[in-house]
Structure 1
Amino acid sequence: MVYQKYGKRIIDFVLSLIGLIILSPVILLLIFFIKMDSKGPVLFKQRRIGINKAEFYILKFRTMKIDTPKDTPTHLLENPDRYITRVGKFLRKTSLDEFPQIINILKGEMSIIGPRPALWNQYDLIKERDKYRANDVLPGLTGWAQINGRDELQIKVKSKLDGEYVTKMSFIFDVKVFFKTIFSVLRSDGVKEGNSQSKIQ
């Protein structure tokens, strides 16, 4: 309980601040390539559902063209490949597009580990998560569901895993999820574009 109430937030803030400083050269390089690759802003903002179902704007590096329909999961686009930029394909495959969420973590809108924040209009996912109290915690940069299937998971399975995280939340469990995420990203596990459970920008 102490970890959930105080320790988790302190660790989130300290690690995110250190990460922002260390990764700043990489972030600047990515900004340069994004600007050179296509027209539009570097950052992509999108309404998401946070703790206690409060809305916030998640930050990502823009991976899609500026004419892409807003608030639409990639798998619902008729031809997602036509919207994803060249640099965007690389960013999405490596999850480097998630770097700007360090700012969301510093602001206290997100945690490093937690259920991935749902889109504001993903009513079925939000409702299913209510059953497991998964909307009662800070959403995360990565989570238990992400290392157990990510884009391949059905909503009911994903929500159940998010609920499992809520019940098991602890420092040791967060460390486990963190390191499993690193291996998952290196293998690009569960990342799909243009399929039934594709990644949401």
Structure 2
Amino acid sequence: MNEQTGLLPDAAQSEKIARPIAPSLEKRRLRSFAVMMVIDAALLHLAFASASLIYLGVWASANNMLAAQTLLPVFFTIALYNGSYGGKALGDWIFASKRALTALLVSTALINFLAFYTKSNAEFSRVSVTLGLILSAIAIVAFRRVLMIFIDRFWNGRTTNELVIDDGGPSFATERGETIAASDYALDPTSHDPFMFDRLGKLLQNQDKVVVSTPRERREHWAFLLKSAGVHGEIVSQPAHDLGAMGVHHYDAQDRTTLIVSNGPLKLRSRISKRLFDTAIVGAALLVLSPLLLLVAMLIKLEDGGPVFFVQRRMGRGNTFFNMFKFRSMKVDKNDAEGARSTGREDDRITRIGAFIRKTSIDELPQLINVLKGDMSIVGPRPHALGSRANNKFFWEVDAQYWRRHCLKPGLTGLAQVRGHRGATEKESDLTDRLQSDLEYIAGWSLRRDIEIVFKTLLVLRHDNAY
């Protein structure tokens, strides 16, 4: 252990990876989905307009265009839920075509069912509408084939990132992904060193699939790491019950089988809704609280002339480090950068204004900046300082499940906080109570629960354990 920092001696190696090894392709996928929806809408309208011209001799008759406009929102609703605009649809045009045609067929049946009961389907030409549907189906399938040609030519067929980690197991190749050796990055699945977790987290950042090939005796450890990282993880072959496997994937070209041992806790739609919720809350909060933030900053500066903010390295999503902002509540010469000493009552390090802002949780408000940056969320497991201890043990030494709480972004508040689990962690139960709440929150995430936690937080901003 490093005597100066109180942490495990791997900080220098952690700097080996300054950034993720693969660019994020999520924006590329989102843009592709948006383009697909726009073109599908245009093709549907064009097909019904053409059908009107072919059968009725009139380009874009009013009834045909009304049929297209009525069909479109129902088609989009079904298509969004059946995977027509999902990741697999960008990599397999046959799959994409089948899903889109299913959405078109189901939406047509629903609209026809409603039109029958409202006695409005007699107003439409059955032949013209049917021809419009046939032309729509042909156009949608053709578009997906053209899109696949575009992706293969200009993106080298790459819409997802795949990483293979070779840790001495059976050989495993990836066509469009990347393969690294665990030894090159000092990745040891049996270690509980936070700097090793940070290195691994940076390697896994932006990866859509991670496959690990490792000897049998290390597979359970790798399964735990992948679950903690919050990624889609697979391990080449192993008895399912040992690893808590969620499924099996067979790679025909290599005659290899992997066990799916982890999935990210939130799918794309959930991540988008959570991010929109965060952005809306932060925008409103910064607008309303700006006078208070300026006043507190001024009082901190006037008290001793020191810096307004206290910046501390914390563990974030994927077990990677980030710099968290707080209003400085301690004396400049007694700031605890690593959080090795928990704050207690009558703590001699706390300034006068610091005691008040800690008691009222105002010191946490600068983390709104972290939420805006994307390091944190409004609701999630609270991030801890690396040197934090319970009963003189690092948190991960108390319970190895501690690492699993980092598969989601850390939050300004969380389920543990509204249940009263705040303040110093003097006993091991102080940590395990919080951990249990954090894992429960991750397992049962919903936007509704986030909203409930925000409202409950307003009732516990001032708390006896906040000091």
Q: TM-score, normalised by structure 1?
A: 0.85
Matched with 2:411 is: 140
Give 2:438's aligned residue. Answer: 162
Once the two structures are superposed, the pairs formed by residues 13-32 of structure 1 within 5 Å of their partners are 13-32=279-298
Q: Once structures 1 and 2 are overlaid, which stretch shifts more, 157-166 or 119-128?
A: 119-128
Give the SS at the match of 1:90: helix
Q: Structure 1 pair 84/122, CA: closer, same or farther in 2 (3 Å)?
A: closer
Gaps of 5+ in 2: 1-266
- The alignment-based identity, stated in percent, is 37
User: Structure 1 residue 121: deviation in Å?
Assistant: 3.2
Pairs within 5 Å for 1:15-164: 15-68=281-334, 69-75=336-342, 81-122=347-388, 124-126=394-396, 128=399, 130=401, 133-148=404-419, 149-151=421-423, 154-164=430-440
Tell me: higher relative CO, structure 1 or 2? Use CA pairs within 8 A at least 6 residues apart. 1
**How many pairs were matched up?**
190
Contact 1:114/1:139 (<8 A) preserved: yes
- Do the aligned partners of 1:47 and 1:55 also contact (CA within 8 Å) in 2? yes
Give the corresponding residue for 2:254: none
Deviations 1:125-156 (A, max 9, x none): 35637468311000000001111122266111
Q: CA deviation at 1:61?
A: 0.4
Q: Provide the C-alpha distance between the structure 1 equivalents of 2:366 and 2:402, rounded to a whole number of angstroms.
A: 30
Q: Secondary structure at the match of 1:60?
A: strand
Q: Is the 8 A contact 2:340 2:388 kept in 1?
A: no
- More divergent stretch after superposition (113-122 vs 123-132): 123-132
Report how far residue 158 of structure 1 moved: 1.1
Report the Cα distance in structure 2 between the residues aligned to 1:61 and 1:38, rounded to whole angstroms.
14
Q: Distance in 2 between matches of 1:82 and 1:182?
A: 28
2:439 maps to amino acid: G
Q: Using the alignment, how far apart are the partners of 1:12 and 1:27 within structure 2? A: 19
The whole-number CA distance in structure 1 between the counterparts of 2:293 and 2:423 is 25
Tell me if structure 1 keeps the 8 A contact 2:312–2:323.
Answer: yes
Task: Name which one, 1 or 2, has greater alpha-carbon Rg.
Answer: 2
Q: Is the contact made by 1:51 and 1:137 (CA closer than 8 Å) also made in structure 2? A: yes
* Alignment-derived partner of residue 67 in structure 2: none
Q: Displaced runs of 4+ in structure 1, greater than 6 A?
A: none
Report the 3-state secondary structure (helix = DSSP H, G, I; strand = E; otherwise coil) of the residue aligned with 2:330: coil
Using a 3 Å threshold, how does the CA distance of structure 1 residues 119 and 131 change in structure 2: closer, same or farther? closer
